[in-house]
Amino acid sequence: MVTDALLIARAAWSRLVEPGDAVAGALVAALGPQEALDWLRGHEPLPGLAAADGRARAALGAAAQRWRTRLPDLDAARDLGMLERVGGRLLVPEAPGWPRGLEVLGSSAPMCLWVRGSLAGEALGAALRRSVALVGARACTGYGEHVTAEIAAGVAARGWCVVSGGAYGIDAVAHRAALAGDGTTVAFLAGGVDRLYPAGNTELLRAVADAGALVSEVPPGSVPAKVRFLQRNRLIAAVSGATVVVEAAWRSGALSTARHAASLLRPVGAVPGPVTSASSAGCHRLLRDGVAVCVCDTAEVLELVEPVPAPEPRTDPRAGDGLDLVLRRTLDALPLRRPAPEGSVARTAGLSEREVRASLGRLELAGLAVRDAHGWRRANPDRSR
C-alpha cells in the first residue's frame, strides 16, 4: 500500500543519495524506506550490523556520512510541492505502474521516479513495456537525422513507445518524429523535471510531456551534472525493450547506454554509417565488438523486440523433395504427359530396369507416379522448375 509517509520517505532518499547508490538501495530494501530514514536521522546502531563483515560496516559508515551532509536541507514535502506545481507525480516501486525493467538494476535501482506529463502510474508502466530506446550523437549529421526520423516514426506507428534522453541531436529527432506521428514518447532527464534542459529543447520537452512523459530519478531543482547523465543512461537501457544507437562518435555517451543495455542482457542495435564518418565510429565499434547487431530500418529494429514469425508452411512442396538419389532420378525421367514404358524410363534415368521397377512402385505409393496401359508418367507435374 502506498501511503503519504512512504512517498515522503522515498522522496527524501531521492534527495539524500546520488543516482545508482547501491549501498542506499540495499539499506532501504532491508529496512524499508521509512525505517532506514529514521535510522539515518537517529544515529542508532543498525540491528545486525555487528555481525556483518568489516568491509560492509565500513561501506555503510562512509555512505551514511555522505548522506547526513544533506539532512539539514532535506525537505521532501517541498520537493513534492515543486513537482505538483509542474503537474507531476511521484512514482514509487511499491505502486502499480513501476517500470518492470528497473527490477534488473537490483539495489542500484532508483528510489523513486519523478514524472511529469500525461503518462503516469500504470499508463507509464504499460507504455514502457512496449518501448524502444533511440539514442546517439548530439552533433549528428543529416544522414543520422534522416535515419532516426524514419525509424522513430516507424516504431511509433507500430504502437511502440520511443524512449530517449531529450538532448540535442539524435534524441531530439527521435522525440519529434514520434510526436509527428501521434506516437508515444518518453524522455529520461539527468536533472529535475522542472528544469527543462537543454534550454534549446524547452518547447520540445513540453510537447513530450503533453503526449508522453518526462522522467527523472532526481528531485525537482536538481542540476543535470555529468555523472547524472551517465546514471540516467542506465535507466533508458533498463526500461526499454531494446536500445538502438543511430549515430555515435568513438567516445559518445550513447555508447554507455548501449553497454548498460548489453550488461542487462537487453538487445542492442547499431546503425552503420560511412566508414569515413567520425560520427559513426562508435556504432562501428559496437558492431565490431559484438555488443550490437546491425540494424538499418524499422523492420530490423522491431526484430529486436518482436518475436520473429515462423516461416509459412509450404503449400506447394516441390515434387520429389526428400527422395533418395535413385528415386529422384526415376522421377526426373518420367514424362509429364505421355506415358512411357519401364524400359524407356530406365534408359532415360541411366538405371537398370530392376531399379526402375522398384522405384516406380514406391513413387506410385507416394502419389508421385501414375501407371496406365501405355506406361508411366508423373502424377503431379512440377511446373515450377
- φ, ψ of residue 64 to 5 degrees: the values are -60, -35
Instruction: Tally the domains of the chain.
Output: 3
Within this chain, do residues 293 and 263 fall inside the same structural domain, yes or no?
yes
* Residue 170 shares a structural domain with residue 209: yes
Average pLDDT, the chain: 90
pTM for the full model? 0.78
Q: Is residue 85 part of a domain?
A: no
* Judgement on whether residues 173 and 257 belong to the same structural domain of the protein: yes
Task: Tell me: do 145 and 273 sit in the same domain.
Answer: yes
Same domain, 126 and 233: yes
Tell me, yes or no, whether 194 and 333 share the same domain: no
204 and 116 co-located in one domain: yes
Write out the E strands in 82-130. 88-91, 113-117
Listed residue (173, 288, 186, 168) closest to 241, CA to CA: 186
368 belongs to a structural domain: yes
Per-residue pLDDT reduced to its tens digit, 89-119: 999 999 999 999 999 999 999 999 999 999 9
- Residue 243 DSSP one-character state: E
| Domain extent at residue 176 | 91-302
Q: What is the 3-state secondary structure (H, E, C) of 328-380?
A: HHHHHHCCCCCCECHHHHHHHHCCCHHHHHHHHHHHHHCCCEEEECCEEEECC
Q: Report d(CA 353, CA 300) in Å as an integer.
A: 54
Query: Helix, strand, or coil here: 133?
Result: strand
Whole-angstrom distance, CA of residue 326 vs CA of residue 89:
75
Show pLDDT as tens, one digit a residue, over the chain (385 residues): 789 999 999 999 999 999 999 999 999 999 999 999 999 998 666 665 544 566 777 888 899 899 999 999 999 999 999 999 999 999 999 999 999 999 999 999 999 999 999 998 899 999 999 999 999 999 999 999 999 999 999 999 999 999 999 999 999 999 999 999 999 999 999 999 999 999 999 999 999 999 999 999 999 999 998 899 999 999 999 999 999 999 999 888 899 999 999 999 999 999 999 999 999 999 999 999 999 999 999 999 999 998 766 555 544 445 556 688 889 899 999 998 889 999 999 999 999 988 888 888 888 888 888 988 889 998 865 443 3
Q: Residue 238's CB: how many other CB atoms inside 10 A?
A: 25
- For residues 118 and 210, give the distance between their C-alpha atoms in angstroms, rounded to a whole number: 6
At residue 273, φ and ψ (nearest 5 deg) are -135, -175
Using CA atoms, how far residue 127 sits from 43, 175, 193, in Å, is 42, 15, 19
Q: Distance between CA atoms of 385 and 377, rounded to whole angstroms?
A: 17
